[in-house]
Structure 1
Amino acid sequence: MTLHPGDVALGLRGDRLETLLGSCVAIVLTDPRRTVGAMCHFVYTRTSTQRSAVPTAQADQALQSMARLLQDRGIRMLQCEAFVVGGGNMFPGIVSGLSVGDHNARWALGTLAAQGVRVVSADLGGTVYRRLRWTVGPQAPQIEAVPL
């Protein structure tokens, strides 16, 4: 299954989940035995009247949806391991300082830490797109850098 911005999916062992990320971030949550996994693809928004980015309902809702999908399988988010990918600066010639991708990454890591979810791997930042592919199972997700 291919995820697009705002999508959330649950997979069982052998299912394939994938997405392409720029400044967006994907969170993969899986039980330690890696028999079930959930993935979301989200982005922060920022309006011209805000001094700093705040999470959209999309980001919060995506994480809540993942928690519900996992809970329906008897898995609490706190039991999960997380992989966090994306958060690139897609306009390095224009954006200096913190980019939308940086805000996305900080939100993801901060929210997972606040919920007590252990992040086992984070591939964040930089100036590349990332193709994320994961077949639910014992192997870590595959991440391919795609230059701008």
Structure 2
Amino acid sequence: MTHVLHPGDVVCVARGERVETLLGSCIAVVLTDARRSVAAVCHLVHAGDGATAAHGAVAFETMDALLSARGFDSRFCEAFVYGGGNMFPALARGDGHVGLSNARWTLGELAGRGTPVLARDVGGEGYRRLAWTVGPEAPEVVQIHG
């Protein structure tokens, strides 16, 4: 089964299931157990607090709850982090764009939780396409220049 995530979506998937999403300034976080038997994945739009899973804090709470419902404790998970691109480089140069703000918040949240980040591909310009079939391999990420 393939799950296509849109902005604000959060899913929990088992080994053999596939997750796909397209990222601009948004961030995808994959939280998975060390054996890669299950993963919670979010497509967060905004760093920090908010009312929906489009906001980082709610997305993390939702991933924690989904993992817990399957008998996994997110405190023992590992992470992959992708996205945070500068979608308007002519308007926002350097460190002043929302994508980088999203990436910094996400990486800070994971560090605060003590969650190891196994791989990250954040910042830059353009889109990223993320695809992963839950299992031993790392997620596939392709940068698409717009």
Whether TM exceeds 0.5 here: the answer is: yes
Structure 2 stretches of 5 or more lacking a match? none
1:31 paired residue number: 33
Residues 12-49 of structure 1, C-alpha deviation per residue, up to 9 Å, x if partnerless? Answer: 000001100000000001000000011000122xxxxx
Moved over 4 A (4+): none
**Percent identity of the aligned residues?**
53
1:85 paired residue number: 82
- Quick one: distance in 2 between partners of 1:43 and 1:103? 11
- Quick one: distance in 2 between partners of 1:78 and 1:118? 10
Give the TM-score taking structure 2 as reference length.
0.92
- Quick one: distance in 2 between partners of 1:15 and 1:60? 25
Q: CA RMSD in A?
A: 1.0
Give the TM-score taking structure 1 as reference length.
0.91
- Quick one: distance in 2 between partners of 1:116 and 1:76? 13
- Quick one: distance in 2 between partners of 1:128 and 1:32? 31
2:7 paired residue number: 5
Specify the SS of the correspondent of 1:20: strand
Q: How does 1:1-148 map to 2 (within 5 A)?
A: 1-44=3-46, 55-57=48-50, 58-97=55-94, 98-148=96-146
Aligned positions, number: 139
